Each structure stands twice: as structure tokens, then as C-alpha cells.
Structure 1
Amino acid sequence: MDRVWHYFKELSKIPRPSKKEERVSNWLKEVAEGMGLEVDQDEALNILIRKPASPGYEDHEGVILQGHMDMVCEKTPESDHDFDKDPIELVEEEGFLKAKDTTLGADNGIAVAMALAILEDKSLAHPALEVLVTTDEETGMSGMLDFDAHKLQGSRFINLDSEEEGVLTAGSAGGFTYSLTRSLETTAPQAGSAYRLVLDGLVGGHSGSDIDKPRGNAIILMAQALQAIYGTDLVQLASLTSGRLDNVIPSRSEAVFVTDKSQADIQAVLDGVLADHGDLEGSPAFHLEETAMPEEVWASGLSEDLLRFLTTIPNGVFAHLKNSDLVQTSSNIAIIDQKDGEVEVVISFRSSEEVDLGKLRAKVDEAADQARLASRTFAVYPAWGFMEESALRDTCCRNYKEVTGKDMEVLVIHAGLECGCIYDQRPELEFVSIGPNMYDVHSVKERLDMASAERTFAYVKEILKAL
């Protein structure tokens, strides 16, 4: 396991935001070539490494280990970390690996580190191995979508991008991201005072795996608060921003507005909004202060339409799997921003059922038409269908029972996994996804259970031996 931690630390030194993976991709290529292994780096900067079978395994079907090299880049408001040039500062605390004021990148750096350690180890027993490390998984899976799956020689595909030990994922949701825009119409502010309002203290999290938890969405709460402040009056908004990534539940939002109401009256309204959401995780709080009067505010029609849109469209769980508490379909209002003369709202949709996605999209489209928002679809990724019979899945479950004495839980998850992109091209392959315990991924509280990572690494090696 020492080599796993070695590679994870080396990986953490290299900035690797989504769509900016050239440095880390080249590093992976150099490391693999240094091991004397065959390496294929494609135009999307995906890395495919091949290692021959160990003695006695030459006639076994090949195995593909897969993870992604990019990471979600979130930081605390106080942090001056630059994800384009600064290394991740690792912190080991009470058995967990964390990062100082940023996301850790164990999603999915721990998979890459495990794969490199396996490639390096000449004593392991295994069939012919391929290690596929992809780009841009976190913002649309464009790396895997651009990858030619027919390059793969193996028939058993093990994705290492799951986040719960003892759980084997055997299917995942598909989805897409929606961008809705409208021209930024402005006017001079009316008489009153200007205020800056910040909402923070929400937990945030993954827009797939955490969408059914009481995390709270900072965009929705801020929109509700602004509507409550003004009541039937027109809203004099000067700015409204929140969120950075479409796959993250926004945990912080900020607005500047003008009103003739007193600060005390506004604070009373804000307290009431929080009281209506007393069951949320974290410590949500509004922070209100007077600020300089803006030169322009949004036109009343734009403010009114946008706030109505944000507070009425579906957000969160839309449908559950039949006879189950598992989420089947959901949406996440992820970003609101203003730039280049436009206001933009970004929403991510997920489902394992195309019919549900259509229904959800129709509801948003209807509200968007009323708010005069133009829409654009991007980051479309396919679902990974559950296979009724799978020898690979059976072997993994049996091996886990032998190693731990516990039964492996098999799930179909409400999050996009890259397996779906390969499944779309090569449905004849067998797929599973496993991984160690990780918590609060896609947030600054992200942490990796180090003991779980060690057990998972040992388990992966046992799977390879059994295959």
C-alpha cells in the first residue's frame, strides 16, 4: 500500500482541473513508459496502458481497470488556492486523508494511484491488464465519450470510481446538462438602500449521490429569500450568483439588491426563511450588510421572471425506482451567473429512464418559455444498463465474501459513471464498479478513509488473482 500512497501524493502535486489535464496525462504517460509498458495517449489525452499477463494467466480473459485523472476543484471562500498551478495540500487526520481548504481529489485519484501500484508490481498474479485513465469525467465525461472503446482488448471492465466499500455498482444513470440564458436587461435603481446578502453554511455535495439528502440548494434558498423580502414589490436585483460546477449542489450564494425596507425588517424575513428549512444539514446562515449603491439593477421583468423560474421548477428527486427508495430521476439547479451581457442558469438532469428525463425537461421548458429563457443542451452521457447475469459480478461478490466474511451489496446508482460510455459502444463487455469509503466528495469536506482504501486495494488484487 505504500506505493499507492506514493502515487497519490505525486498525483496531488499536479494541478488537474477538468479540461486542463495535459500535465497530468503526460505525467501518467511518462510513469508507464518508465515501467516499460505499452502506452496509448489519444487526442482527448486519455491514457491506455497495457501490461502482459503474469505467468500462468496467459489464456485468461483480459481485465480493464479504469478511473479518471481530473478532479472537482472546490475551495473555501477564504482560500487563495489556485487550481491551475498549486498542488493539493494533503492532511492526514484520525485515519482520514483530507485537503487543506480544498477538495481532495480522491475522486478519482485513489483509483489512479491503485492502478499504477498494480502496474508496477511484478509479483502480482493477474490476467492481461489494461489501465484506462480518462479526462474530463467531472464536467461531462467528454474524455470517455471521445474514447474508442474498440481499442480495449479485455472483456472484464472494473471501474474504481465508487465511494462506498462493500458496495458493488452494477448500473448507473444517464443524463445531460441544460444551460438557460436571457439578455441582461438593466435600469437605474430606485430610491432606497443597497444590501449585500450572502448565504453560506450549507453542506453541498454530489448532485447525484447526495440529491436525496437534506442538503439544501443555495440558489433556491436565496431566490426564496429575495421573494420573501420584497413580497409583492418588484425586485431590484443588481446581481445574483451561485455555484461553479453542474454536478455539485450549490452551498453558497450571493446577491446585491436595492430596497426601501429597513435592515431589521429584512433580517426578520431571512430568519423566517431559515426557520421554514430547519431540517437542513449543516449550519445555513444569511449574512446581510449595507453596500455601495450599484449604478444599475436588473430590469423588473427580468428579476421577477428569474425568481419565479428558480422557485417553481423541479429540483431534487423527481422519481424513485419502482418499489425502492433509490432515486431514479432528479434535477439540480447548479449555477446562476451573469456575464457577457447575459444571465445564465445551469441545471443538471439524471435518470435511468429516458421517459422520465423527457417529462422533467418538459416541465423546465414550460417554465423557461414563461421566463423568456433560451436553452442549450450539453454534457449528454448514457446510462449503464444492469446485466441480469454476470460472471464478473458473481466473482467479485464471492471473492468479497471470502475475504471479509460479509455479503457484497449490489446497487444501481443515481450518478453517472463512465461505464455507461463504454457500455454504449461495447454492451457485450462485463462491468462492475467498486471503491473505498469516501465522504462529502465534490466539497471542501471531501475525505478518504485510509484503512478502507487499503482494504479495497487488497481486495482488487484478490479479484485479479481470482480472474
Structure 2
Amino acid sequence: MSGDIRELEPREVWTHFYSLTRIPRPSGHEEKIRTFLADFGQRLGLETILDGAGNVIIRKPATPGMEDRMGVILQAHLDMVPQKVGGSLHDFERDPIEPLIDGEWVRANGTTLGADNGIGVAAAMAVLESSTIQHGPVEALFTSEEETGMNGASGLRPGLLRGEILLNLDSEDEGELFIGCAGGLDGTMTFRYAETPLPPGYAGFALRVGGLRGGHSGMDIHLGRGNANKIMNRLLHAGYRAHGLLLSEIEGGSLRNAIPRQSEAHVAVPEARAGRFLKEFSTLAESIRSEFAGADPMLQIGAVPEPAPLRVIEEEVFSRSLRAIHACPNGVMRMSFEMDGLVETSNNLAIVRSGGGELTVQCLLRSSVDSAREDLASMVGSVFDLAGADAVFDGGYPGWKPDPESALLSLMKDTYRQLFGRDPEVRAVHAGLECGIIGAICPGLDMISFGPTIRYPHSPDEKAEISSVGRFRDYLVRVLMSVPAARLGSL
């Protein structure tokens, strides 16, 4: 498992992707990648714009003879999700990603690969650089902070884009065309607490949950994988009720759109009950591992003795937070009635963290039905309101309503059939795509999302299928060649 990904085909895409792996670009730290792409566009002699929302726009004129074609926007996002295996010393703000060829796939050494959405960025770069691809006017729109709130897309200035067609290059199943997506809403619930001195006669323990697969909270939420925050809360709740366990600090999950893979809590238990606590903890841990054996066979749950903490979260607040997190809905709430296999509404209990007198719970709520998303927010908010927490819901973004009659969809289906001899699947996705936001800012765009096959995004298991990248590139090139001069709706 090694090799130089720059030797893979299509070389122009893999070479650009390799250059992206050299540049740290976790969400919120995209200065270097913005500079890199701005230099790239200017070096090619292309009009290059850096807007106030952190987006990079590069415009390339049509190839001779195609000036009358409709303008196409190639859209991908700059940032990547920073996730790594336990024990890794990788610093996502400083260290490059180490890509590896693993059979038919490319993955990274112990971290997320950044194929989401680096392959899309690389494909757009290849179009901008090419002197042989035939196309009408092209704009490459590289958006910022997609993974942490779609801030770049939300901050896009109306009227800045010129194209009439938007090709979003951020989907993860080659051979599928996405024509709709869910909207999202961030929930932040805050318990405020005082720290109290730990009474004498307590033993300290570090509780850890890890080894979970995690994954994308939109793409993978239906797979039934373990949520580290819910599992940890289950362990804490049992210890509190049976043995008077007290909590000193907790940290679980790191990103709102990633299913949490690990959680760590530092607790205290009366010394007289420590042995019994460990025995029952072990029994419960084994039961939980058995429950998740199919979805998360590498789940690890442990309790390690450590010095007792000096201070703990006041018991009354701790008790209320336990019950609220226990009752908070998590996972799939309802499947779509319109499209088979599509999740309609879900919640990801993403982050639980204490510090500075606050215990914070963060969720990402998704739904392709706005009223269902609002009802879920009311449900989650009610649970935490009853427990005495402050619940705030913000950062909402619209969904993208499917248009099965889209002229662009018809064109792309025909093009795929001609190129590969079979029909593409047409789907909507439960994950959030920037199409909904961009479409609201730029009314009238005809939009499709597609991409290569990427598995387990937002986790260290992320990998990109090599052969699918070639098909994705060939399809993109053929679509650009096929864009008509007349408005698609009049065809």
C-alpha cells in the first residue's frame, strides 16, 4: 500500500489532487488553499476573484467557436473535515495529508483523505488548465467553510456569478446524478454550572469510548453506526443512578456534520462502590459492544483508574444534562415517502463538551421538508428546555427541491447514456449541498450534483475509487462539450 498517486489516470486530476494534499485546509483554516488557487488562476492568465466570504472565483473564456454556449459554473468547496485515528499526532493546520494507493482505492495514512471535496476542486483545476477540452464560458467557484456551515456559499454576493448552469462536483457516488438535498439547522444547547469541591473518599476514573466508524452525518446516518456521545451518556447515566458517579469534565465529538467517533469523560465514584462500579461498567460495555457488533465491530469502551479530580460539575446540573442527552433524539427520524431509500429527517448529536462553567451539546438537524426540520428543532429544544438548558437554533440553510423535468438533467442523462451505455441513477441526497443556498442567491440556475465514488467521508476510513475518478472526469468533459447555445428550457 504505497505508490505515487500522480501516476494514476487521469494524471491531470490526480496531480492536482496531490498538490491539494500538500496544503493544510481544515474548515476555518483555508488561507493557504485560497492563496494557492488564486496564484493558480493568475498564473494561467485567467480572471481571478477573491470575495469577502472567502470564496475563489476563476473565469475562463470559451474555446474558439463555442463562445455562444451557455455559461457553466463548476462548483466545489475548499475545506476538508479533519478527522484522525486515535493516537495520531497529525496536525491538520500544519501537516500535509499522506495519500496511499490501496488496491483499487486511494486513502490516507490515519486521517481523512480530503477527497471530499478535493477531487472536485482538482477536476475543476484540470478544466481551467486544459488547452484541449472544448467548452463554453466557464467559471470555477471554490467555496469556503462548507463543512462547518456553508459560510462561503451563504456569503456569495448576488450577481457575481455569470453562468446559467451549475455543476456541483461534491457528490460521492459515480453514476448517480443528484437533483435535490436536505436543508440543515444547527442546535446548541447550553447548561451552565458551578464547580464544586469533590468530597473525600472518591476514586477517579477516565472513561473512554472509541474505535467507532463515524462518518458523514448526512450520507451515513441511516447505517446505524454508534454515536460516541450517546454511548458515553448511557454509561454515565448508569453509573450515576447506581453508584453516585460525578462528572469532572467531558469531551465527545468534534464536528457537527460528523457522526462522533470518540468521547472521553473524567469522573469520580465513591471508593466504597468503585469495585462494584467497574464490574457493572464492564457488563454494560460488553452489552453495548454486542449491540453494535454489526455496524461498529471495532468499538472500544474502557475505564482506567486515575487520580480523583479536585472539582466536579454540580450534581443537580449533571443529573439534568444526563437525562436530556439520554432523551434527545438521534439518528433517522423518518424516511422519505417520495424517494425510496432516502432519509427525510434526522438528527446528529454531534458534540458534548464541558469547560468554563458550561456544558454544551451541539446537534445538526437535517430534513428535506422544512416543516419537519422545524418540528424536530422544537422536539430537541423542548427536551433541553425541560432540563433547564438554553437552546439556540441557527445557521439554517435551505434544501434544494428536486426538479425531475430539468432540461439540464435530460441533457446529462443522455450524455451519460451515450458515454457509458447505461442510464445514470437520479437521486436526492440527505446530506447538505451548497446548491440550495447558491440557487436561492442566484435564481434561475439549472443545477446537477455529481462526482466520483468516495466512501466513508468525514472519517479516517475515507477513500476514493480510482477508476471512478476517470469516469467522472470523462463525463465532466463530455458534458461541457454538449452544453447548447440556446437556453436548455427551450430545447
User: Which bracket does the TM-score occupy, shorter chain normalised?
Assistant: over 0.9
* 1:379 equivalent in structure 2: 395
* 1:267 equivalent in structure 2: 282
* 2:416 equivalent in structure 1: 400
Matches within 5 A, 1:221-232: 221-232=231-242
- Give, in angstroms, the shift of residue 325 of structure 1: 3.1
Conserved 8 A contact 1:229-1:269: no
Partners in 1 of 2:318 and 2:294 — Cα distance?
A: 29
Say which is worse superposed, 221-230 or 237-246, in terms of deviation. Answer: 221-230
Matches within 5 A, 1:302-341: 302-322=317-337, 324-341=340-357
* 2:253 equivalent in structure 1: 243
Which deviations, in whole Å up to 9, do the C-alpha atoms of 1:398-429 show, x marking residues without a partner? 11111111211111110110111111122311
From the superposition, tell whether residues 371 and 233 of structure 1 become closer, same or farther in structure 2 (CA, over 3 Å). Answer: farther
Asked if 1:254 corresponds to 2:264, the answer is yes
Conserved 8 A contact 1:144-1:418: yes
* 2:378 equivalent in structure 1: 362
- Give, in angstroms, the shift of residue 395 of structure 1: 1.0
- Give, in angstroms, the shift of residue 84 of structure 1: 1.2
* 1:61 equivalent in structure 2: 70
From the superposition, tell whether residues 277 and 7 of structure 1 become closer, same or farther in structure 2 (CA, over 3 Å). Answer: closer
Partners in 2 of 1:247 and 1:237 — Cα distance?
A: 26
Partners in 2 of 1:271 and 1:282 — Cα distance?
A: 12
- Secondary structure of 1:355's match? helix
Conserved 8 A contact 1:47-1:134: yes
In the alignment of these two chains, the number of paired residues is 467
Q: Could you state the TM-score of these two structures normalised by the residue count of structure 2?
A: 0.92
- Secondary structure of 1:118's match? helix
Partners in 1 of 2:228 and 2:327 — Cα distance?
A: 15
* 1:347 equivalent in structure 2: 363
Conserved 8 A contact 2:435-2:447: yes
Partners in 2 of 1:213 and 1:149 — Cα distance?
A: 38
Q: Could you state the TM-score of these two structures normalised by the residue count of structure 1?
A: 0.97
* 2:307 equivalent in structure 1: 292
Partners in 2 of 1:149 and 1:289 — Cα distance?
A: 55
What's the Cα RMSD here? 1.4
Which deviations, in whole Å up to 9, do the C-alpha atoms of 1:12-57 show, x marking residues without a partner? 1111111221111111011111111111111122111111111221
Say which is worse superposed, 256-265 or 171-180, in terms of deviation. Answer: 256-265
Conserved 8 A contact 2:158-2:441: yes
Conserved 8 A contact 1:40-1:49: yes
* 2:130 equivalent in structure 1: 121
AA partner of residue 354 (structure 1): D
* 2:89 equivalent in structure 1: 80
Say which is worse superposed, 295-304 or 456-465, in terms of deviation. Answer: 295-304
* 1:446 equivalent in structure 2: 462
Conserved 8 A contact 2:186-2:364: yes
Matches within 5 A, 1:137-152: 137-152=146-161
Aligned-residue identity in percent: 37
- Secondary structure of 1:444's match? coil
* 2:488 equivalent in structure 1: none
Conserved 8 A contact 1:172-1:412: yes
- Secondary structure of 1:150's match? coil
Asked if 1:187 corresponds to 2:196, the answer is yes
- Give, in angstroms, the shift of residue 261 of structure 1: 3.2
- Give, in angstroms, the shift of residue 270 of structure 1: 2.2
Partners in 1 of 2:443 and 2:454 — Cα distance?
A: 29
- Give, in angstroms, the shift of residue 382 of structure 1: 1.3
- Give, in angstroms, the shift of residue 297 of structure 1: 1.5
Say which is worse superposed, 345-354 or 232-241, in terms of deviation. Answer: 232-241
Conserved 8 A contact 2:247-2:312: yes
Say which is worse superposed, 279-288 or 368-377, in terms of deviation. Answer: 279-288
Say which is worse superposed, 295-304 or 205-214, in terms of deviation. Answer: 295-304
Which deviations, in whole Å up to 9, do the C-alpha atoms of 1:168-216 show, x marking residues without a partner? 0001111111111121322233433211111112110001111111211
From the superposition, tell whether residues 15 and 277 of structure 1 become closer, same or farther in structure 2 (CA, over 3 Å). Answer: closer
Partners in 1 of 2:422 and 2:317 — Cα distance?
A: 57
AA partner of residue 316 (structure 1): G
AA partner of residue 98 (structure 2): E
Partners in 2 of 1:138 and 1:400 — Cα distance?
A: 29
AA partner of residue 261 (structure 2): S
Asked if 1:413 corresponds to 2:429, the answer is yes
From the superposition, tell whether residues 265 and 282 of structure 1 become closer, same or farther in structure 2 (CA, over 3 Å). Answer: closer
* 1:23 equivalent in structure 2: 32
- Give, in angstroms, the shift of residue 131 of structure 1: 0.6
- Give, in angstroms, the shift of residue 149 of structure 1: 4.0
Asked if 1:90 corresponds to 2:99, the answer is yes
Which deviations, in whole Å up to 9, do the C-alpha atoms of 1:366-389 show, x marking residues without a partner? 111122111223332111111242
- Secondary structure of 1:248's match? coil
* 1:197 equivalent in structure 2: 207
Partners in 2 of 1:218 and 1:64 — Cα distance?
A: 39
Query: Any gaps of 5 or more consecutive residues in structure 1?
Result: none
Match of 1:209 among 196, 200, 219: 219
Which deviations, in whole Å up to 9, do the C-alpha atoms of 1:326-362 show, x marking residues without a partner? 1111110000111222111100001111111121111
Conserved 8 A contact 1:53-1:127: yes
- Give, in angstroms, the shift of residue 86 of structure 1: 1.1
Asked if 1:42 corresponds to 2:51, the answer is yes
Partners in 2 of 1:117 and 1:286 — Cα distance?
A: 45
Partners in 2 of 1:302 and 1:234 — Cα distance?
A: 14
* 1:134 equivalent in structure 2: 143
Conserved 8 A contact 2:377-2:393: no
